């Protein structure tokens, strides 16, 4: 009888160790997302876009802003890390947006390419986010690009991958 009780206690203790090991092993699978975003293609490097009000992309049907229409005065831009803000020079630049919902921690790869043969500008934004961070946030992913020729079509493609 004593041996049976000791065997049960030993099994119980070993089970607790096994459960604790599994818990620790699973909790160590942390999601590691870069703290910086990356911009490639024809995006003006270092430019920070400041919309003057709310989520503009929720109110418009196009994500290409070229200085015409109701939102021409809705943006400012900084070329010095946010120290100063100036109106956008619409004669030299356009703004593209690629809105998406992501989990609270995300890293974004923004890429804008120009297909001059077919007259297409492609703006791909790929977000990598953690599934462990479940709180959603809406981001508009504004980028400043050199003036887009009239007649070009702008394609915006958002993609979200979850780790």
**Pair 60, 115 in one domain:** yes
Do residues 147 and 88 both lie within one domain?
yes
> Up-side HSE of residue 104: CA atoms within 13 Å toward CB?
4
**Are 43 and 120 members of one domain?**
yes
Residues 26, 67 within the same domain: no
To the nearest whole percent, how much of the chain has pLDDT over 70? 81
Q: Assess whether 19 and 49 both reside in one domain.
A: no
131 Cβ neighbours under 8 A, 6+ residues apart? 31, 103, 162, 163
Cβ neighbours of residue 99 under 8 Å, at least 6 residues apart? Answer: 55, 57, 58, 63, 138, 139, 140, 141, 158
Q: Give the per-residue pLDDT at 23.
A: 45
- Residues 55 and 21 grouped into a single domain: no
- 103 and 73 share a domain? yes
Claim to verify: residue 55 and residue 130 sit in the same structural domain? yes
Lowest mean pLDDT among 27-31, 46-50, 147-151, 158-162: 27-31
pLDDT for 19: 53
Same-domain status, 96 and 62: yes
pTM of the model: 0.78
Range(s) of the domain holding residue 137: 38-162
Tell me what the mean pLDDT of segment 46-69 comes to: 88
Judge if 71 and 148 occupy the same domain: yes
pLDDT value at residue 69:
85
CA 94 to chain CA centroid, nearest Å = 20
**CA distances, 99 to each of 12, 62, 80, 90, 123 (Å):** 53, 11, 24, 21, 11
Q: What is the pLDDT of residues 3-41, one digit of tens each?
A: 565 555 555 544 544 454 444 444 445 677 876 789 999
How many structural domains are present in the chain?
A: 2
**Residue 94 near residue 152, CB atoms below 8 Å:** no
Q: How confident is the model at residue 134 (pLDDT cuts 50, 70, 90)?
A: confident
Per-residue pLDDT at 29: 53
What pLDDT is recorded for position 16?
47
Residues 67 and 99 in one domain: yes
Structure tokens at 147: 């003036």
Same domain, 10 and 60: no
Strand, helix or coil for residue 74: coil
| Predicted pLDDT at 1 | 56
């Amino acid at each position: 009888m004593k041996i049976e009780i000791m065997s049960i206690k030993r099994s119980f203790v070993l089970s607790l160790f096994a459960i604790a090991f599994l818990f620790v092993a699973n909790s160590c699978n942390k999601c590691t997302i870069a703290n910086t975003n990356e911009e490639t293609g024809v995006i003006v490097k270092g430019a920070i876009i400041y919309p003057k009000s709310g989520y503009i992309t929720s109110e418009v049907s196009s994500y290409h802003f070229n200085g015409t229409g109701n939102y021409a005065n809705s943006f400012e831009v900084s070329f010095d890390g946010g120290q100063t803000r100036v109106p956008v020079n619409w004669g030299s630049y356009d703004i593209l947006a690629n809105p998406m919902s992501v989990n609270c921690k995300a890293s974004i790869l923004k890429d804008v390419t120009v297909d001059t043969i077919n007259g297409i500008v492609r703006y791909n934004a790929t977000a990598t986010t953690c599934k462990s961070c479940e709180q959603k946030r809406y981001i508009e992913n504004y980028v400043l690009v050199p003036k887009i020729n009239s007649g070009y079509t702008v394609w915006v493609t958002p993609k979200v991958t979850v780790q």
